[in-house]
Amino acid sequence: MTPLEKIKSYRGKEFTESPSPFMRWLNPIIVAAEPGKLEFTYRICPEWLNPVGNLHGGVTADIIDDIIGATMFSLDEPYFYTTINNVIDYFSPVAGDEIIIAKTTIVKKGKQFINAECEIWNSDKSRLIAKGSSNLFKTEIKKN
């Protein structure tokens, strides 16, 4: 089973078989998966909040970095990619215990570099919470 097929097999469920312990901790629900595009939902946990009770910006950045990493797996590339940068724009706060939606897209795929984007929306997609863009570099580390 390819990594993309494995992700797709969890559609509508928690992705408990992710190779990433961090992703398992974030506990996303798979909504959609295709090569270079993923959509996950997350329920905001109390541990993810800043002192005023909204989703912490660092956790937002972590979600963006993590789902973009999963998007690399959806490409079924033989090598791992590493994040070079992660640029985040924060647009709107979101409170605890809400559902958020993260959607990724590959903007450009070259031989060594990939540029990817992620948008995080509120549950009905009426409010953009944050948007991130990352450049990733192909490593020499082969996947098993």
Task: Answer for the pair 44, 97: CB distance below 8 angstroms, yes or no.
Answer: yes
CA-to-CA distance for 53 and 5, rounded, in angstroms?
Answer: 37
Token couple for 73:
């797996």
pLDDT in tens, 120-140: 999 999 999 999 999 999 999
The answer to whether the CB of 144 falls within 8 A of the CB of 73 is no
Which tens digit of pLDDT belongs to each residue from 92-122? 999 988 999 999 999 999 999 999 999 999 9
Tokens 């956790």 identify what position? 59
CATH value at residue 88: 3.10.129.10
Confidence bin at 18 (pLDDT 50/70/90): confident
CA dist 54 and 92 (Å) reads 10
In the chain, how many domains are there? 1
140 DSSP β-pair partners: none
- Domain hosting residue 94, numbered range: 3-142
What predicted TM-score, i.e. pTM, was given to this entire model?
0.94
Residues 93 and 29: beta-carbon distance below 8 Å? no
